[in-house]
């Protein structure tokens, strides 16, 4: 078997691996227990900076 013969197998494995990785990231990002943390992180740009009040 040469590398050329194995290319279709590697392509299939790559697609399956990418799909598993993508769904894992989706489950991580959309899980309800992380919602509060992500909302707090999303509000960071809107917080007042104490250094702005001094000037």
* pLDDT tens, position by position, 14-45: 999 999 999 999 999 999 999 999 999 999 88
CB 34 within 8 Å of CB 28? yes
Q: How far is CA 53 from CA 27, 46, 48, in A?
A: 40, 15, 9
pTM greater than 0.75 (yes/no)? no
- Encoding tokens for residue 47? 């917080």
Which residues contact residue 29 at a Cβ distance below 8 angstroms, ignoring those fewer than 6 apart?
Answer: 38
DSSP class of residue 2 equals: -
Rounded Cα gap, residues 45 and 52, in angstroms: 13
């Amino acid at each position: 078997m040469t590398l050329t013969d194995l290319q279709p197998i590697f392509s299939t494995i790559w697609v399956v691996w990418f799909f598993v990785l993508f769904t894992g990231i989706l489950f991580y990002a959309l899980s309800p227990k992380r919602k509060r943390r992500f909302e707090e992180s999303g509000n960071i740009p809107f917080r007042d900076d104490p250094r702005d009040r001094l000037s």
